Structure 1
Amino acid sequence: MADIYLALIHAPVYNKNMETVATSITNLDLHDIARCATTYGVKRYYVVHPAEAQRQLAKRIMGFWQEGYGADYNPDRQEAFSRVKIADNLAEVYAEIKEMHGIGPIKVATDARKYANTVTYSQLREDMETSETPILLLFGTGWGLLKEDVENMDQILEPIYGPTEYNHLSVRSAVAIILDRLRGH
């Protein structure tokens, strides 16, 4: 079975006006996605941000739960954060996964829109079960990954649809739904 990795991208992403921006790292995204990643056996959850101040903020938040009082108070949080790595950029993420496996990951973007190389959850799940090639799921913050970045991925996972026209989930919710569809029982 393929190992799964997650990358939460904070820049470049779109804002609500479809302008290219950098978003802030949030406490909730750190905690909730780390816990979800651990529950579903994700090898590593990368939080990608180019700004040093944002990376330091994330490390400080996680440090509270990994050492001292926070670690003693909630050991489960410490375990979840052991899978999180803060990265400057995607090149760093790709290189680390390639170094661990001897092969680069299959890069799978997530988006609320359909593209030409969109794959279904059942297709990707089958690929994960029959291949040893690592899978990197990329999630964009804000209003999502840039269109050109999505189009440069190996695959694009189909959007999550509910029964209404409204389609703007938090990234935390999207991660949970997608991981359950790909790794749940």
Structure 2
Amino acid sequence: MRNKIYLALVHYPVYNKRKETVCTSVTNFDIHDISRSCRTYDIKEYDIVVPVEAQKQLTQRIIGYWQGGTGGEYNKDRESAFKHTKVKNSLEETIADIEKTEGQKPVIITTSAHIYPNSISYSGLSEKIFTDDKPYLFLFGTGWGLIQEVMDMSDYILEPIRGNTKYNHLSVRSAVSIILDRVLGEN
């Protein structure tokens, strides 16, 4: 059912362009735009996964400004968008929190610009989500993508978003919006 959908933007562990495992920087645009997309599609929780203390503090300060600070008083729509945005230390923490809340481990959906043996179509995933009662966790990587170990732990990998050109380098916030609409949008 649609009321058990979670989303995590993973800053660690991800690859850089040399295929090294790194932690990428949190961007203000991703905090704001993905929070708004998650609110639009009624995502239960949006987690920003980052283990670096300075980045966690900055991200918490931005979220706090909109959740209960001056920003939230000024713009109630933005306050509403940030209501379910959280900062987590690790992907394991995100999964454990979902399991504690829902009473079962989430179905893990990852995204990639490549096709894998366990790739699933948007319509196929949408049908699963609308017909069962399991929690689902969408994982989006930053940098040059989620590391292979994360891809290997996923239940499904969504088919790539394809445009009409060979260029394929969408911002993660654009990819989140497109994917949420394809899977959870109006039928």
Range into which the TM-score falls when normalised by the shorter chain: over 0.9
Quick one: which amino acid aligns to residue 140 of structure 1? Answer: G
Q: Report how far residue 20 of structure 1 moved.
A: 1.6
**What is the letter of the counterpart of residue 61 of structure 1?**
I
1:28 matches 2:53: no
Show structure 1 runs of 4+ deviating over 4 A: none
Tell me by how many angstroms 1:135 deviates: 0.5
Q: Which residue of 1 aligns with 2:162?
A: 161
CA distance in 2, matches of 1:68, 1:89: 26
* Identical pairs, percent: 54
- CA shift, 1:80, in A, is 0.8
TM-score, structure 1 length as denominator?
Answer: 0.97
Q: Which consecutive residues of structure 1, in runs of 5 or more, have no partner in the other structure? A: none
For residues 151 and 69 of structure 2, the distance between their equivalents in structure 1, rounded to whole angstroms, comes to 40
Deviation at 1:110, TM superposition (A): 0.5
> In 2, Cα distance between the equivalents of 1:49 and 1:12?
9
Matched pairs, number: 185
Give the letter for the 2:145 counterpart.
G
CA deviation after TM superposition for structure 1 residue 148, in Å: 2.8
| TM-score computed with the length of structure 2 as normaliser | 0.96
Structure 2 residues not aligned, in runs of 5+: none
AA matched with 1:183: L
Q: Distance in 2 between matches of 1:161 and 1:63?
A: 36
Opposite residue 25 of structure 2, the aligned amino acid is S
Give the aligned residue type for 1:12. P
Cα distance, 1:69 vs. partner? 2.0
Q: Which residue of 2 aligns with 1:151?
A: 152
Measured after TM superposition, the shift of residue 184 of structure 1 is 0.9
1:11 alignment counterpart: 12
- 1:68 shift after superposition: 3.3
